[in-house]
Chain A
Amino acid sequence: MSRLVAALSGGVDSAVAAARMVDAGHDVTAVHLALARNPLLHRAGSRGCCSLEDAHDAKRVADMLGIPYYVWDFSERFQQEVVVDFIAEYAAGRTPNPCLRCNERIKFAAMLDRALTLGFDGLITGHYARVEHAADDMVTLHRSVDTAKDQSYVLGVMTAEQLRHSHFPLGGSAKPAVRAEAAARGLLVADKPDSYDICFISDGDTAGWLHGFLGSQPGHIVDASGQVLGEHDGTYRFTIGQRKGLALTRPASDGKPRYVVDIDAASRRVTVAGHNRLAVAVLHCGRPTWCGPEVFGPWEGTVQVRAHAAEVPATIVADAENMLIALHSPVLGVAPGQSAVCYDGTRVVGSAIIQRTEPVSAETVVTPPTAVK
């Protein structure tokens, strides 16, 4: 039996995860993280875990499981580590993933640290991923058996030490089964909608929310030759691969849709091009993290470049600061700021943040790099 903290968001997944660990005989204490500075009273649609209603739901789950319940206030830390970074990344023309950042800096860092400090042995969350413990004390992170729901991507920033203290009891289950189990257990959150959007942007309007911080930063939308096709209000309104909301004043000569292929925040220039220009062959990444031993390679694995994207075979080389990924088949619309998470089969090897990409060129065949830098 372990003494464990269950992170209860107020949703169905973390509730079932906690319930399973209680059933398994562990001494479980529920903790709800307060992340929002000014929590909304009620959830609006499918947003995340920041409302009072979610705190209430989490508390009721703990009541039903008969376990203690506390709220830990990480709102200041969340603001500093996740929200400020989120704004800065968009301001720099990148597309950050705040969920990865939160897992790296808050859930499996600040929260896990506090749990361990207070005498707990580890943390339970409702993520769909699996931790495997090998006989030699090695721990590895794997994709969920429910590949549609798999959340190993957002856990790709975890270290072996963090994994050692983490429990993902839902990694072997499919989402519908988890919902059914919640209903069978009488948990009131059984039919609560999943959260997909960014939890601190309550209405889901990311561009509008960023506008509140960054203001108007007008600039040009141009084509590959530099010809101005339209105006925009701020580069933070765009992400690579975006097609909608461009409001171009001149149609493309070929009449085909155009997509954002480059964002230059310094010159406030957003470049658009046809679909064929979205294809990316090489990812230059920084700040590698490893879910176990470092693997500098070169090695052959698969790479996922955003949440819910398909994985692509790739050749990967890294050193302490960089990771270079040569994709064996092109990927469309890869946004700097997102994380590239590397897999060996189902196992998560590590991650790095995409800094820039190289498009597929008609002339050159993409070959694995031999050295980094």
Chain B
Amino acid sequence: MQHYLDHAATTPMLPVAIDTWQLGAAELGNASSIHASGRNARRIVEESRERIAARLGAHPGEVVFTSGANEADNLAVLGLARARRAVASRMNRVLVSAVEHPAVRSAAAQLATEGFEVVELPVDGRGLLRLDVLCDDIRHAPEQVALLSCMWANNETGAVQPVAEIAAQAAAHAIPYHCDAAQALGFLPVTFAAAAMPGLTAMSISGHKVGGPMGIGALLVRKDAAVAPTSYGGGQERRLRSGTVPVALIASFAAALEEVVTEREHRAARLRKLRDMLADGLRELGAEIVGPTETSHLAPHICYAVFPAVPAETLLLLLDQAGIAASAGSACSAGVVQPSEVLLAMGYSAEQAVSGVRFSLGWTTDADDIDALLQVLPALLERGASR
């Protein structure tokens, strides 16, 4: 019996997304073509765009489809910062939280090679952005900030960042603010509505994290935001993103997104109950649950545990052999579990940073999965800790 507790890595496609994808895959047409087939494809794409926009309080023209959240993050970070500096060379500072996904951090590192000054904003012991540091930094020289990027919910800890406060700061100083919402969408009340998030300039979302297909995502970006493109060609997506738009993926993404946003409250409440049950059980086994304890600052589907004296590399193997899928903070391309940058940023030791295991829940998770994990875990921890 397999128990999949790695939904934050990817979650099974929703039936409606599979059905929609199949229908879309059978359609012929390039959305850029002027003939009937092209018009049909275009209609599917634009209807999907409108449905996604409607669910996120956005204007359809603000939705730029990408291959996923990684590309959306790249486009936002590189595109916004470069465009802004092109206007005024003094706008040279890029502020990113210390717990961003590599899609943001690596893009920021690229900007550093282009002469930008990249500032990592610290988080507290719960993994939450230090708003005081952010405010101080901005106040110091707001006219020099090219971009601020801070995610909605952290992919390892599930910590929910104070995005409304960050957006307010960005608005007050007219600084572009990008938010990676890939892990938040479908679990938290994510919105791109200008009224609710006045300072939010751009937001990344992903298809496969919400039960849609892999290979599709979007960057929501204000229509008046200056963004330099990062790829070149047909300019299909607002001249920011080139490449034939994948009709079936987009339709399927829209179907999944519509379902998870519509059912969010009910789903989140159900998952939070399971997640708390899991966290309580893990604590009883000696694990430290990492991240905020306040419900308001914690995504309902992620439980990040540090097991003292058991490296994640070992525990993940034992869990896998027991039929349970979970993951560690990060692994290099060769497959080696690396110390979690997130845990290090939160002040954990190097030893603790290789002992973090993330359990993440999704729409197929039920109490049986949690029970199965808690049942086998004591023996696995004993085995894993015996050297």
Contact = CB atoms under 8 A, between A and B. Distances in A.
B336 A68 contact: no
Given A34-B334, A39-B334, A73 B314 contact: no
Contacts of B318: 118
Interface string B289-323: 00000000000000000000000011011101100
Interface string B313-356: 11011101100000000010111110000000000000000000
Contact of A117 (B316, B321, B387): B387
Nearest to A70: B317
Given A68-B320, A118-B318, A34 B384 contact: no
B317 to A, nearest CB: 5
A73 B383 contact: no
Contacts of A32: 334-335
A71 B387 contact: no
A80 to B, nearest CB: 16
A133 to B, nearest CB: 27
Interface string A58-95: 01000000001011110100000000000000000000
Given A68-B320, A73-B313, A117 B386 contact: yes
Contacts of B386: 117
A55 B387 contact: no
Nearest to B331: A71
A55 B334 contact: yes
Contacts of A114: 314, 387
Nearest to A3: B321
A116 to B, nearest CB: 9
Contacts of A34: 334-336
Nearest to B338: A73
Interface string A120-154: 00000000000000000000000000000000000
A113 interface: yes
Nearest to B320: A68
Nearest to A113: B387
Interface string A32-63: 10100001000000000000100100010000
Interface residues of A, number: 18
A119 B376 CA distance: 14
Given A73-B313, A118-B314, A118-B383, A55 B320 contact: no
B27 to A, nearest CB: 34
Nearest to B386: A117
A64 to B, nearest CB: 17
Contacts of A117: 383, 386-387
Contact of B334 (A71, A113, A119): A71
Contacts of A70: 313, 316-317, 320, 335
A255 B322 CA distance: 71
A86 to B, nearest CB: 22
Q: Looking at A32, A55, A70, A114, which has the most chain B CB atoms within 10 Å of its CB?
A: A70
A70 B313 CA distance: 9
- The interface residues of chain A, by DSSP majority, are classed as mixed
A248 to B, nearest CB: 45
Contacts of A113: 387
B333 A52 contact: yes
A30 to B, nearest CB: 11
Contacts of A29: 321
Given A113-B387, A117-B387, A119-B383, A68 B321 contact: yes
A119 B387 CA distance: 12
B314 to A, nearest CB: 7
Nearest to A119: B383
Given A68-B321, A73-B313, A118-B317, A52 B384 contact: no
A100 to B, nearest CB: 24
Nearest to A117: B387
A109 B316 CA distance: 22
A71 B321 CA distance: 14
A31 to B, nearest CB: 9
Nearest to A36: B334
Q: Looking at B320, B335, B337, which has the most chain A CB atoms within 10 Å of its CB?
A: B335
Contacts of A55: 334-335
A55 B331 CA distance: 13
A75 B336 CA distance: 10
B384 A118 contact: yes
Contacts of B331: 71
Contact of A73 (B320, B336, B387): B336
Q: Looking at B313, B384, B386, which has the most chain A CB atoms within 10 Å of its CB?
A: B313
B321 A52 contact: no
A114 B314 CA distance: 9
A72 B313 contact: yes
A73 B337 CA distance: 8
B234 to A, nearest CB: 31
A117 B318 CA distance: 11
A110 to B, nearest CB: 10
A52 B387 contact: no
Interface string B344-387: 00000000000000000000000000000000000000011011
Interface string A95-121: 000000000000000000110011100
Contacts of A71: 313, 331, 334-336
Interface string B159-192: 0000000000000000000000000000000000
A71 B312 CA distance: 12
A52 B317 CA distance: 20
A52 B334 contact: yes
Contacts of A72: 313
A293 B333 CA distance: 44
30 contacts: A29-B321, A32-B334, A32-B335, A34-B334, A34-B336, A39-B334, A52-B333, A52-B334, A59-B335, A68-B320, A70-B313, A70-B316, A70-B320, A70-B335, A71-B313, A71-B331, A71-B336, A73-B313, A73-B336, A73-B337, A75-B336, A113-B387, A114-B387, A117-B383, A117-B386, A118-B314, A118-B317, A118-B318, A118-B384, A119-B383
Interface of B: 313-314, 316-318, 320-321, 331, 333-337, 383-384, 386-387
Given A32-B335, A59-B335, A117-B387, 18 more contacts: A29-B321, A32-B334, A39-B334, A55-B335, A70-B316, A70-B317, A70-B320, A70-B335, A71-B334, A71-B336, A72-B313, A73-B313, A114-B387, A117-B383, A117-B386, A118-B314, A118-B318, A118-B384
